[in-house]
Amino acid sequence: MPSLTRNESVQTIKGNNITILDYIAEGGQGEVYKVDYKGQKYALKWYKAPVPPQVFYDNLAKNVDRGAPNEHYLWPLMLTKPYKNSYGYIMELRRPEFHEFSEFLLNQARFGSYEVMISAALNIVESFRLLHSLGFSYQDVNEGSFFINPADGDVLICDNDNVAPNLVNLGVRGMPRYMAPEVVIDATRPNTQTDRFSLAVLLFRLFYIDHPLEGKYTNNLPMMDSTGAHMYGVSPIFCYDPSNEKNRPDPESQPNVIKRWNMFPPDLQMTFVRAFTKGLKNPNDRITENEWEEALIRTRAMLVSLSGREQFVNCYAKQKIPEGCRIIKFDDYPSIVADGSKLYLCQVDSRSVDHDTVAAVIRASLSDKAVLGIGNLTDTVWKLSVDGHETEIGKNGFARLARGETIEFNGVKATVL
């Protein structure tokens, strides 16, 4: 039975009234209500018994004052005064276009494209990069904390009440199957490095659906209380560990990862291998957010759409690229492009980490679809050079992409192959 009723009022710590409008849902820690605060609609999270202690309340108050790391957090906006032996906080309401992460795992929601899927991953990683850079850890990364818009990859992160300074823990340990091994065996409490393990599990499931530590070996373990601790804490085995085939995915219980493992480019694949081999037991070998961003940007660079159908092309392999494509070879990685492809600011500007802003578009000639051109959407003048002839291309300008051509962007050089 809900703790609060419609039209009941609770007060914020500043003395303003919050009016209960509707009951929304209940979780393990609290109840969520739709409320009215100063004429606007918000969500109120109200804690159930046992109510978190005063130190938790004080940390929440600090988080409210501090503000969200970025726009992707459904951050605590205002704390209430204690009421009915409990308390709560208000946050923005989740908009209807956002779906729970679990809906994607159950195929109840689907991304509009692989490009959108990668955008969602980048938004998640960027949000945690900012949080960790501020000296905080999330401490409870799991599928229940994320909402995603399948149309554009926008992300909302909820349950931010456990966020605390790194190495400060207020009691939460995390959700089973997402906790780092050292947390499972109670060797440590959640921190930035355990966040990074949980983040790797979340990203793996975003791309491959199945769990990285489940396979033929774990399927045959007896159903006992100690099984979970063994699988995820004491002796975890990555399903695609290159030196240990013991826990390979089972076609019946882990079909998604089997189907998808070799579909995505090697940059993503090898990053997951490191995350769940070296990073499995050694926290200092966990993949950082910067490393995830690099792997995801390179993965997106090998995605191309031809005749309305997306496909990944392994540009490292010595193989013929699809007709109508070119490869733009940056210093560290290749990018395949075709009519309609985009380059992002982080690719063409050495000072930028902006993975969302489109900096260049690729277009095919109307008279000859085999001829591609590049359009500059930035304020920087680019220099193109081929066969000794140099051309400049300014904002909204277009120039032909020719094999052997070099392009000097803003501190970034590339060659067209």
For residue 319, give the CATH number of its domain.
2.60.200
Task: Give the C-alpha separation, 127 to 289, whole Å.
Answer: 9
- CA torsion 256-258-259-260 (nearest 10°) is 80
- Integer Rg of the chain from CA: 24
181 located within any domain: yes
Question: Do 137 and 37 lie in a common domain?
Answer: no
Give yes or no for residue 319 having a pLDDT over 90. Answer: no
pLDDT of residue 226: 84
Question: Do 118 and 29 lie in a common domain?
Answer: no
Question: Do 118 and 244 lie in a common domain?
Answer: yes
Domain stops at, among 59, 91, 123: 91
2 located within any domain: no
Question: Do 123 and 241 lie in a common domain?
Answer: yes
Q: How many domains does the chain have?
A: 3
- Domain residue limits at 24: 9-91
Question: Do 289 and 315 lie in a common domain?
Answer: no
299 located within any domain: no
Question: Do 272 and 401 lie in a common domain?
Answer: no
* Cβ proximity of 302 and 264 under 8 Å: no
Question: Do 172 and 229 lie in a common domain?
Answer: yes
**CA distance to 7, 38, 84, 258, per residue, from 15 (Å):** 17, 12, 16, 56
pLDDT in tens, 95-148: 999 999 999 999 999 999 999 999 999 999 999 999 999 999 999 999 999 999
Give the residue-averaged pLDDT of 154-171: 95
Res. 370 pLDDT band, cuts 50 70 90: confident
Task: Give the C-alpha separation, 409 to 401, whole Å.
Answer: 14
**CA distance to 31, 46, 63, 74, 192, per residue, from 68 (Å):** 22, 20, 8, 8, 17
194 located within any domain: yes
**CA distance to 208, 239, 276, per residue, from 243 (Å):** 21, 11, 12
Question: Do 36 and 182 lie in a common domain?
Answer: no
pLDDT in tens, 9-34: 999 999 999 999 999 999 888 999 99
Question: Do 321 and 285 lie in a common domain?
Answer: no
For residue 76, give the CATH number of its domain.
3.30.200.20
Question: Do 213 and 148 lie in a common domain?
Answer: yes
Question: Do 53 and 125 lie in a common domain?
Answer: no
249 located within any domain: yes
Question: Do 245 and 340 lie in a common domain?
Answer: no
Domain stops at, among 72, 91, 110: 91
pLDDT in tens, 205-244: 999 999 999 999 999 998 887 899 999 999 999 999 999 9
The whole-model pTM stands at 0.96
Domain stops at, among 91, 115, 132: 91
Res. 40 pLDDT band, cuts 50 70 90: very high
Structural tokens at position 106: 């159950």
